[in-house]
Amino acid sequence: MRNKSISTKRPKNLKTALPGLARIFQRFWPLIQKERFLLIVSFIGLLIEIAAQLLEPWPLKFIFDHIILPDASVSNLNSPILNGLNPMVLLTLLTLAIVAATGLRAVAAYFSLVGMSLAASRIVTELRANLYTHLQRLSLSFHNQAKTGDLITRVTYDTDRLREVTVTAALPLVVNTLTLIGMVGVMFWLNGELALIAIAVFPLFVFSSIQITKRIRGISRQHRQREGAMAATAAEAMGAIKVVQALSLEAMLETMFSTHNQKSLEEGVQAQQLSARLQRTVELLVAVATALVLWRGVQLVVQKTVTPGDLLVFITYLKTAFKPTRQLAKYLGQIAKAIASGERIIELLDTIPDIRDLRGAIEAPTFQGAIEFKNVTFAYEDKTILNSINFEVKPGQRVALVGPSGGGKSTLVSLLLRFYDPLEGQILIDGHDLREYKLESLRRQISIVLQDSILFAASIRDNIAYGSLGATQEEIETAARLANAHDFIIDLPQGYDTILGEGGATLSGGQRQRIAIARAAIRKAAIVILDEPTVGLDNENERTVSEALERLTQNSTTFLITHDLRTAQSADQIFYIEKGRILECGTHPELMNLNSRYATLYRLQSTINSNNSTAIDSYAITA
């Protein structure tokens, strides 16, 4: 699947979900296979557990038939070996057998549960790591469309649900089903008629539990969606808390949140009521089955067709077999949900990154920095953003991209980083299409500084080193000096070890920019992209940042997106971009001579500039 966004579909019930189960097994088979030893051992433990469970009432049966009521028993059903033993010895052996059977079952159940849990945890841990890696490789066009909250849910919640349901539902379901089959088999072996009576209420049980579970599932699904919406509202508000507070949106968002919260409560309660009703229904049906078996069973005991001990086995089996089956519907519901989770994970894993290394892609050589756009056309979805862009830039040249907002400047440079591929045309670096190169080796040779550079909640040292992983302290300091950042960094109490707030929130805009420049500088890249790096800075900060940028770009081919035409003046080439086209192209004197859009804008800015220098940016942004 190569789609830009992923759906949030969920299978409706187990029947429609079942093909999904097969797909999940198939898809995760390599991971499951790695744990096969543990899984096989756990399965053997599970079989022992079931056998012990089937054996549990038998010592009691023998005690009844051979010690307490030997006369009431049918002689031909009695074992001659047991009859030959001294009753006291037999009693001691049988009481010991009761403990032994329970002990064996406990030990086997413990090992099968621990084994399965361990295997499931290991499988899910690896799956989660794969998923995370995959997610980071998906292209920007995917991430632009996908909801971050939804993706995080898939990596954390959905994977964990697979693990949890394997242990809390799938494992007990297998144990209970096999136990049930075993018990029905033993019951038929003891007495067919009584066995038929015992299982007569079973269809009724299946019918009622399916009905109720269906309703529970419907409500649970709504409940989950509601919780998702609630998490999304909260995440969005927290992520944009500055804007929320500035616009005084708190009350509005609180109302939205509490409506969801209240509905979520109601749905939760409703689901619990239904599940309580299901439990009571099953208990009643067990009572009916027990009554029927007793009614007919006692008659058969009197007729000496079955022994009192046999009847005891029947009653015990009925109780033990039906008790877990009460959970059957719940398990099936949980499994259906887990299948939905599995499908959501597979859907994500199957999303092929739009942008990835082409077959035969090679490691990019060290770039000289010559760049050529040949007839490049690009569209986000259906909206054409760039139209037949053609230009050539020589190594080390500085290019300024100017023009009104929304013209396509940022999009143009993002093609250079291969965040997206052009719809038509070619982008060449040093004469080679950039798709020939491995993505990582291409991006490693391009530095970028954005208007609001994003820093990570890590130390300043790490933030700079992220530009070139494995950089030494000396390289980090050199980069910081180049970026005019060293002095302010060592003035901080913790210096380079200062841990930044999320997004670098603990620094001023100018300081953030200078760290971002250091991060860009440490790459020593042949190509540098600056996307309005000084917008929003005061004069003093603008001066230090510009100085740092000057040094950063000294030996590199540079693309500077700017609204301030003063900073564009010295560029070797200026592209005036509007509505996805380069309308004017040349040096500052050439464009002034042309006396068209650029010249008009320049003169306008100069006038405003001489009146009020700080108005330039606000004018340019709306120009």
Q: What's the CA gap between 127 and 344, in Å, rounded?
A: 13
> In terms of Cα–Cα distance, which of 326, 329, 325, 322 is closest to 289?
322
Nearer to ligand ADP, 406 or 495 (CB): 406
Q: What is the CA radius of gyration of the chain?
A: 36
Min separation Cβ 495 and ligand ADP, Å = 36
- Say if CB 351 and CB 7 are below 8 A apart: no
* Distance separating alpha carbons of residues 270 and 96, to the nearest angstrom: 47
User: What does 59-95 look like in DSSP terms, one character per residue?
Assistant: HHHHIIIIII-TTTS-GGGS-HHHHHS-HHHHHHHHH
What is the closest distance, in whole angstroms, from the C-beta atom of residue 380 to ligand ADP in the complex?
A: 3
Distance CA 525, CA 116 (A): 50
SS3 555: coil
Q: Based on CB atoms, which residue is closest to ligand ADP, 57 or 403?
A: 403
Angle between helices 202-239 and 192-200 (to 10 degrees): 40
Chain centre to alpha carbon of residue 217:
23
**Closest distance to ligand ADP from the beta carbon of 563 (Å):** 9
- Residue nearer to ligand ADP on the CB measure, 382 or 540: 382
Q: Which is nearer to ligand ADP, 120 or 574 (CB)?
A: 574
Q: How far is the CB of 382 from ligand ADP (least distance, A)?
A: 10
Q: How far is the CB of 401 from ligand ADP (least distance, A)?
A: 8
CB of 45 to ligand ADP, least distance (A): 53
| Structural tokens at position 185 | 């088999």
Closest of 102, 127, 114 to residue 27, by C-alpha? 127
Q: At what angle do helices 87-137 and 171-190 cross, to 10 degrees?
A: 150
Alpha-carbon distance values, 611 to 171, 300, 592, 616 (Å): 77, 110, 21, 10
Residues that bind ligand ADP (CB under 6 A): 144, 380, 385, 405-411
- CB-nearer residue toward ligand ADP: 370 or 412: 412
Residue pair 302/289 in contact (Cβ under 8 Å)? The answer is: no
β-strand partners of 376:
389
* Shortest Cβ 582–ligand ADP spacing (Å): 12
Nearer to ligand ADP, 188 or 619 (CB): 619
Nearer to ligand ADP, 289 or 413 (CB): 413
Least CB distance from residue 349 to ligand ADP, whole Å?
24
Report the C-alpha gap between 377 and 190 in whole angstroms: 80
Based on CB atoms, which residue is closest to ligand ADP, 409 or 486?
409
* Helices and strands in the chain: count of H runs, count of E runs: 25, 10
Q: Which is nearer to ligand ADP, 317 or 378 (CB)?
A: 378
Closest distance to ligand ADP from the beta carbon of 239 (Å): 18
